[in-house]
Chains A and B, each alone.
Chain A
Amino acid sequence: MPSLAIVERGRVSLAYVTHENQSANGNGAIFRAGTPQRGGRITLFEPPPVDAVAVEERAAALGKRSIKKSAKVAGLKLAVAMMDLTTLEGKDTPGKVRQMCQKALRPLEGDDTIGPCAAVCVYPNLVPVAKAALAGSSVKVASVATAFPSGQSPLSVKLEDTRRAVELGADEIDMVIDRGAMLAGDYAKVFDEIAATKEACGQAHLKVILETGELGSYDVVRKASELAIAAGADFIKTSTGKIQPAATPAVTLVMLEAIRDHYYATGRRIGMKPAGGVRTAKQCLQYLVLVKETLGDAWLTPDLFRFGASALLNDVLMQLEKERTGSYQASDDFSKD
């Protein structure tokens, strides 16, 4: 059970959500008063339904945009600047992380117009290594926390995990929600844990991983998105990368729509991070199209959109070199850090 302080926090945040509902002119449909959750302690808003067929159709239609020449180069360079280079393995070592940091700083040797990446994303133990390697640069250090990737630990452990990662120097925390609680209908627990983690982050910026591949439907993704946003997320993120399916264009679109409705209601901009499953330059341009045509120019920045990826950067670089030189280079021509 959350501590009293957390319950307080939850109440404060919920009051804030209610306030949004009432003040938003003509936007009553965005947060509809729902019935009390069975067994839950609090009444929760009911998010709008999502039509799975139509949302997949829309995502697929946007995936057919033709991005060529100058648009391709500009898009791919933007994508590099939006990347959270990620390594989240049991076999991660300081050496591996230092090399990845180097890659984040200078993605393509000899071309200063490309990069640096937005951040590197590592486990808490490797935060100091990354921090040192990136000292003086704009590249942020993100750390997963809250018993990543399952989130199946007591809240006190998750909060301690978060605080330690921040103390070790993490600029950004990528937390996981309790999917078990989400699927069991205990939305209050999900909400309170996010709110508490946000508090534990202090100044660090919070990305909330929904693990959409475990949520089962777009309706639950939409609900989890709104919960996370209401509980204080700076970013919402699709996946840990440990579960398939990870990010898909359709699930990203559902989350972008939740962000858009929140912006309509409050004027507050929440960031988005698709992670896992984005492997090619072509896919990453399709995600940029989704953002451009759903949320507009303001979100086309690393401050509000990120790619979480471990295997994407070199494909993007290969395409950029192809546009520059007119021919494809061998994959061994790009450093595999």
Chain B
Amino acid sequence: MSQSLMKAGSLEVDRKVEAALDFGRAWDYAPAPEATDHVKIEPRYGLFIGGRWVSPRSGKYFPTISPSTEQVLAEVAEANAQDVDDAVKAAREAYEKYWSKLRPADRAKYIFRIARAIQEKSRELAIVESMDGGKPIKESRDVDIPLAAAHFFYHAGWADKLDYAFQGRKVRPLGVAGQIIPWNFPLLMAAWKIAPALACGNTVVLKPAETTPLTALMLAKIIEEAELPPGVVNIVTGAGETGAAVANHPDVNKVAFTGSTEVGKRIQRALAGTTKRLTLELGGKAANIVFADAPLDQAVEGIVNGIYFNQGHVCCAGSRLLVEESVHDIVVRKLRDRMQTLRLGDPLDKNTDVGAINSKMQLEKIRELVAAGEAEGAERFSAPVKIPEKGFWFPPTFFTGASQSCRIAREEIFGPVLTVMTFRTPEEAIEKANNTMYGLSAGIWTDKGAKIFHLATKLKAGVIWGNTYNKFDPSSPFGGYKESGFGREGGRQGLAAYLEVE
């Protein structure tokens, strides 16, 4: 019998030895990169307007790079106000001529077709999503792309049942929807926006984020192949100015925006006094609340998933951990050990847990806030990961010893940075969780179901998860309170954003 077995069997315990787990390289995984040879990215993309690929009137193109290698993947057209005007005109014409005249069941057929095509091309879409955005392939493969398809399937099902969505009330489409989406879930956000708009009978002008336009352009190809009537979906690429042109266009009936609170406020100001309908899905600083009676090992998984999923580029990320003081030390210890196993690196490697930060700009913002956390005296722990030489990276990090007044506890970092704070009673947890200008989401971890329901009624957050985190489903409405925005996406409630309910 070996020495360690003898020792294990004995009741003698050497208490001087600090019991630390060692997540080293005794047995390490070989690189497992997803093959990219079958993926076709064109060198240059035009704008998708009126069912055709057109060159931008601006004559300008901008590069989109891979944040993990800094290599240029393609050049993308920059749409100016004239291009946006073309797109809105095409959408208006499509609305008047085709889409509003189509039988709802036939609308559904087109949307089902898009959903199936996304599934058929899921592998290619996942790879391009990871290349263009930096997220781990396991997430784009298992979350982004399947959910995008699910949103089209779900809303296709609604298209001919809208009369039953709001009891006793008549509904009709709004017209042309101008939609501006962020870079954190590029294809999924496009699906969240386009699927309900089409199902409700609207036509669309969508502007993807400038750092991640590729999968939206691939979706345009899918829509082209699905033979939707020309102009029903138009995709215009560009940066902030293009987005502003979409939101400000006088012939747009509805604006849907997902992104930062700052830009959201600007859009709302611009729309004041118009008849345009608006939904905003903005920032968050969600509390993930862990009670002492929680299943702690699973809660630690929920904490990790809550903040390190998609490098923390998630508006509903559980970026504030509120942990009951009596279990603070053990939770932090477990979290620290768990973070040793996070694998940061090549987004295309199937074993990568944490990919690249989406852009240099975002990386700088994360660095600035982390520096602020250190300056304010919070204690920092970062996972011991090796940062690749090229690309934009930030190690999974958390702060302890922070207070509610710290910048890292108030401002949305939108990166893999968690702020850990404690509470003593459920009332204190509720007060601290609500003590933010945001109100998008929250997590509650406890073995007591009654406690979950009690807290859920008190937390001012649009989405509340009990003993889980970052779970999404097209049938479940998503949206915020306070400065996290208004309007819901998904579910029956999400339809209201694209319908006139009379």
User: A205 contacts B9, CB within 8 Å?
Assistant: yes
Provide the residues of chain B in CB contact with A257, threshold 8 Å. 297
| In the bound complex, CA of A198 to CA of B13 (Å) | 18
8 Å CB contact of A55 from B4, B5, B297: B297
User: B295 contacts A51, CB within 8 Å?
Assistant: yes
| In the bound complex, CA of A65 to CA of B328 (Å) | 30
From known contacts A30-B330, A49-B447, A50-B298, infer whether A66 and B9 are also in contact, taking CB-CB under 8 Å.
no
Q: Which residue of A lies closest to B9 (CB)?
A: A234
From known contacts A29-B292, A51-B298, infer whether A263 and B5 are also in contact, taking CB-CB under 8 Å.
no
Provide the residues of chain B in CB contact with A301, threshold 8 Å. 4
Provide the residues of chain B in CB contact with A206, threshold 8 Å. 9
Size band of the interface chain B makes with A? 35 or more
- In the complex, B21 has a CB within 8 A of chain A: yes
User: A75 contacts B330, CB within 8 Å?
Assistant: no
User: A68 contacts B13, CB within 8 Å?
Assistant: no
CB distance from B328 to the nearest CB of A (A): 8
- In the complex, A72 has a CB within 8 A of chain B: yes
CB distance from B151 to the nearest CB of A (A): 22
8 Å CB contact of A266 from B18, B19, B23, B337: B19
User: B17 contacts A267, CB within 8 Å?
Assistant: yes
CB distance from B205 to the nearest CB of A (A): 38
Provide the residues of chain A in CB contact with B22, threshold 8 Å. 296-298
For chain B, residues 140 to 180, give those with C-beta under 8 angstroms from any C-beta of chain A.
142
Q: Which residue of A lies closest to B142 (CB)?
A: A64
User: A267 contacts B5, CB within 8 Å?
Assistant: no
Provide the residues of chain B in CB contact with A303, threshold 8 Å. 2, 4-5, 8
| In the bound complex, CA of A28 to CA of B329 (Å) | 10
A-B contact count (CB 8 A): 140
User: B19 contacts A267, CB within 8 Å?
Assistant: yes
* Most chain A CB neighbours (cut-off 10 Å) among B15, B142, B330, B350: B330
User: A300 contacts B302, CB within 8 Å?
Assistant: no
User: B26 contacts A297, CB within 8 Å?
Assistant: yes
* Most chain B CB neighbours (cut-off 10 Å) among A53, A266, A295, A296: A296
For chain B, residues 326 to 371, give those with C-beta under 8 angstroms from any C-beta of chain A.
326-330, 333, 337, 340-341, 350-351
From known contacts A66-B351, A206-B9, A267-B19, infer whether A50 and B26 are also in contact, taking CB-CB under 8 Å.
no
8 Å CB contact of A71 from B27, B301, B340: B27
Interface locus among A89-97, A154-162, A186-194, A268-276: A268-276
Interface locus among A19-27, A120-128, A311-319, A327-335: A19-27
| In the bound complex, CA of A67 to CA of B29 (Å) | 6
Q: Which residue of A lies closest to B15 (CB)?
A: A267
User: A300 contacts B27, CB within 8 Å?
Assistant: yes
User: B296 contacts A29, CB within 8 Å?
Assistant: yes
For chain A, residues 260 to 314, give those with C-beta under 8 angstroms from any C-beta of chain B.
260, 263-264, 266-271, 288, 292-293, 295-298, 300-301, 303-304
- In the complex, A74 has a CB within 8 A of chain B: yes
User: A267 contacts B30, CB within 8 Å?
Assistant: no
- In the complex, B28 has a CB within 8 A of chain A: yes
CB distance from A293 to the nearest CB of B (A): 5
| In the bound complex, CA of A28 to CA of B296 (Å) | 12
- In the complex, B467 has a CB within 8 A of chain A: yes
- In the complex, B1 has a CB within 8 A of chain A: yes
User: A53 contacts B468, CB within 8 Å?
Assistant: yes
Provide the residues of chain A in CB contact with B333, threshold 8 Å. 26, 264
- In the complex, B32 has a CB within 8 A of chain A: yes
User: A296 contacts B21, CB within 8 Å?
Assistant: yes
8 Å CB contact of B302 from A28, A54, A72, A205: A54
From known contacts A29-B327, A64-B138, infer whether A293 and B13 are also in contact, taking CB-CB under 8 Å.
no
Q: Which residue of A lies closest to B329 (CB)?
A: A26
Provide the residues of chain A in CB contact with B27, threshold 8 Å. 71, 74-75, 78, 288, 292, 297, 300
For chain A, residues 190 to 206, give those with C-beta under 8 angstroms from any C-beta of chain B.
203, 205-206
- In the complex, A241 has a CB within 8 A of chain B: no
Q: Which residue of A lies closest to B298 (CB)?
A: A54
CB distance from B1 to the nearest CB of A (A): 6
| In the bound complex, CA of A58 to CA of B350 (Å) | 16
| In the bound complex, CA of A165 to CA of B112 (Å) | 66
User: A69 contacts B301, CB within 8 Å?
Assistant: no
CB distance from B338 to the nearest CB of A (A): 9
CB distance from A295 to the nearest CB of B (A): 6
| In the bound complex, CA of A232 to CA of B340 (Å) | 30
CB distance from B110 to the nearest CB of A (A): 34
- In the complex, A48 has a CB within 8 A of chain B: yes
CB distance from B289 to the nearest CB of A (A): 15
| In the bound complex, CA of A55 to CA of B299 (Å) | 10
Provide the residues of chain A in CB contact with B329, threshold 8 Å. 25-27
| In the bound complex, CA of A336 to CA of B11 (Å) | 41
For chain A, residues 124 to 169, give those with C-beta under 8 angstroms from any C-beta of chain B.
140
From known contacts A25-B329, A30-B330, A269-B4, infer whether A232 and B9 are also in contact, taking CB-CB under 8 Å.
yes
- In the complex, A171 has a CB within 8 A of chain B: yes
Contact flags (1/0) for B298-340 with A, using CB distance below 8 Å? Answer: 1001100000000000000000000000111110010001001
* Most chain A CB neighbours (cut-off 10 Å) among B14, B25, B29: B29
Provide the residues of chain B in CB contact with A113, threshold 8 Å. none
| In the bound complex, CA of A26 to CA of B28 (Å) | 32
CB distance from A301 to the nearest CB of B (A): 8
- In the complex, A325 has a CB within 8 A of chain B: no
From known contacts A69-B30, A297-B24, infer whether A270 and B138 are also in contact, taking CB-CB under 8 Å.
no
Provide the residues of chain A in CB contact with B295, threshold 8 Å. 48-51, 54-55
User: B468 contacts A264, CB within 8 Å?
Assistant: no
Provide the residues of chain A in CB contact with B14, threshold 8 Å. 267
- In the complex, A35 has a CB within 8 A of chain B: no
8 Å CB contact of A296 from B8, B23, B32, B467: B23
Q: Which residue of A lies closest to B14 (CB)?
A: A267
8 Å CB contact of B1 from A49, A205, A304: A205
Q: Which residue of B lies closest to A293 (CB)?
A: B341
User: A264 contacts B330, CB within 8 Å?
Assistant: yes
- A-side residues, CB < 8 A to B, are 16, 23, 25-30, 48-51, 53-55, 57-58, 64-72, 74-75, 78, 140, 171, 203, 205-206, 232, 234, 257, 260, 263-264, 266-271, 288, 292-293, 295-298, 300-301, 303-304
Given contacts A263-B21, A292-B27, A295-B21, 10 further A-B contacts (CB under 8 A): A23-B15, A54-B301, A55-B295, A57-B301, A65-B350, A78-B27, A234-B8, A260-B297, A269-B8, A304-B4
28 pairs, CB–CB < 8 Å, chain A vs chain B: A16-B11, A27-B329, A28-B327, A29-B327, A29-B330, A51-B447, A54-B467, A66-B350, A66-B351, A67-B29, A67-B30, A67-B32, A71-B28, A71-B30, A171-B1, A263-B21, A264-B330, A264-B333, A269-B8, A292-B27, A292-B341, A296-B23, A297-B25, A297-B26, A300-B27, A301-B4, A303-B4, A304-B8
**Ordered nearest first, which 6 A-B pairs have the shortest CB separation?**
A26-B329, A54-B298, A66-B32, A297-B26, A267-B19, A51-B295
